[in-house]
């Protein structure tokens, strides 16, 4: 006759473990996206390329640019083409 094995799963501990593992994955992906963005950013002065940061809050990570003109470089203007640096970096980091 087979022995019986009972496994008790503590829901709070399990969710904590999953949340921690997911948070670390999210942070790694955000850091990768910031690194890719810095590598592919257009360079006139280098300000935009050096402006990418990762901010965290709980299990959320956000890639930001502290370049005041970053939004115009990302989305373009009537006389400046859009570069979509952050979008392309996010897409590349998702692969």
Residue 90 lies in a domain: yes
Domain that holds residue 74: 11-94
Measure CA 13 to chain center. Answer: 26
Give the pLDDT score at 18: 73
| Total number of domains in the chain | 1
Q: What was the pLDDT predicted at 91?
A: 92
Cβ 75 vs Cβ 58: under 8 Å: no
Instruction: Report yes or no on 81 lying in a domain.
Output: yes
**31-57 CB burial, b ≥16 within 10 A, e <16:** ebbbbbbbebbeeeeebbbebbebeee
Cα 65 to chain center, whole Å? Answer: 12
Per-residue pLDDT tens listing for the chain (95 residues): 567 766 676 777 777 777 777 778 888 999 999 999 999 999 888 999 999 999 988 878 899 999 999 999 999 999 989 999 999 999 999 87
Q: For the whole model, what pTM was predicted?
A: 0.76
């Amino acid at each position: 006759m087979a022995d019986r094995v009972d496994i008790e799963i503590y829901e709070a501990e399990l969710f904590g473990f999953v949340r921690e593992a997911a948070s670390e994955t999210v942070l790694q992906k955000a850091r990768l996206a910031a690194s890719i963005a810095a590598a592919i950013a257009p360079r006139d002065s280098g300000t935009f390329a050096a402006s990418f940061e990762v901010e965290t809050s709980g299990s959320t990570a956000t890639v930001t640019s502290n370049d005041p003109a970053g939004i115009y470089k990302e989305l373009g203007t009537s006389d400046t083409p859009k570069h979509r640096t952050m979008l392309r970096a996010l897409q590349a980091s998702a692969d």
